[in-house]
Amino acid sequence: MRILHIYKDYFPVLGGIENHVRALAEAQAARGHEVTVLATSRGGATERGVLNGVTVIKAGRVATVASAPLSLALPLELSRLHADVAHVHTPYPVGELSNWLCRPAGHTVITYHSDVVRQREWLRLYAPLLRHVLTAADRILATSPQYLQSSPFLRPLTAKCRVVPLGVPVKRFLSADPSKVAVLRRQLGEPLILFVGRLRYYKGLQYLLQALTSLPGVHLAVVGTGPMEHAWKALARDLGLADRVHFCGEVPEGDLPACYHAADLFVLPACERSEAFGLVQVEAMAAGLAVVCTEVGTGTSFVNVHGETGLVVPPRDPRALAEACSALLADEGWRRTLGEKGRQRAVAEFGLSTMVARVEAVYRELT
């Protein structure tokens, strides 16, 4: 099958959707499909190459407006491509509209990763076009039942939607090098809370930092970089947490499992619906960690089941975060029980091969 994925960025750009597109594309190529990814480059020139069996075309960009790369080259490149299935990853208006207009494939599947949350003024203008794009698609993939029910754009189109949760190569996170884990424990301190993700406004890390002021002696490791890094480092200093909060930056893929296994607890303190799923929770669960997340009406509380794999607390509430973390850190047996159930859930529901098979089943419905 010829499969074309369309999104704004691709590896080495890192992020939840970027990582998902790469994992899905490479897994599909490994299953014998002819896979192409069309994204945008970081500069004005169009780039072409092959990475792990996937043909990658990065169309030159003119500018970036409201987090969306503008590319005149992308629709031109799209008009030259032919596929059985065009798989569009939204939100990315340029890609969605270009596919709608150029129709490079016999069928269109859209993975609806998230509503447009922050760019509300742009959404007022784009909403009618987005509804046309979604209505014209053959299938829409929602990543959780919660998102399907809570999104005003998806609810009217439930009949053509399929719930396909995101997945990761869970086997990578089931174990880690004990020597690396021991080194991290010494360097970062104990007990240790872990946060992993791009440092963007909707991650809500400021609320976890505020919660840490009520957790004396507890350390926090922050893995990832992003636009909020400077502000959140400054906040940690202002709160007197500089000796207990460790900003680790980007960590190589091979070292990431050790970060999870070195921690006692994983926390995702998201504060906006832009955090639509929280794949890092799956990685943490695969590593046997209990998870604390927030209820933002999306897939975060679908992945992490309250009372079964961890705890779910209200968003933007440092006190609730602190109480949940304190309760779990004080009870190792409870923490381990939740972590083991989380590991089982990650393996059963959120493995990469499971996700790929579910996506392919949707393609087969159409072809």
Mean pLDDT of successive 10-residue stretches along the chain, which has 367 residues: 97 89 97 98 95 98 85 95 97 94 95 80 80 96 95 95 96 97 96 96 97 98 97 98 97 95 98 93 98 96 98 98 98 98 97 97 94
Closest CA to 136 of 103, 114, 165: 103
DSSP-assigned beta bridge partners for residue 2: 34
Closest CA to 36 of 54, 19, 48: 54
- What is the reported pLDDT for 119? 64
- What is the reported pLDDT for 120? 65
Q: How far is CA 353 from CA 145, 296, 346, 358, 359, in A?
A: 20, 28, 12, 9, 10
Q: How far is CA 286 from the centre of its chain?
A: 16
What are the boundaries of each domain within the chain? Answer: 2-167+351-366, 170-349
**191: three-class secondary structure by DSSP:** coil
Name the CATH topology of 170-349.
Rossmann fold (3.40.50)
Q: How far is CA 34 from CA 47, 53, 79, 109, in A?
A: 19, 8, 18, 16
- Phi, psi of 303, rounded to the nearest 5 degrees: -70, -55
297 with 150: CB under 8 angstroms? yes
Same fold, 2-167+351-366 and 170-349: yes
Consecutive H or E run containing 96: helix 93-102
Name the CATH topology of 2-167+351-366.
Rossmann fold (3.40.50)
Rg (CA), the chain: 20
- What is the reported pLDDT for 121? 67
Alpha-carbon distance 237 to 233, whole Å?
6
Per-residue burial over 266-294, b if 16 or more Cβ lie within 10 Å, else e, is bbbbbbbbbbbbbbbbbbbbbbbbbbbbb
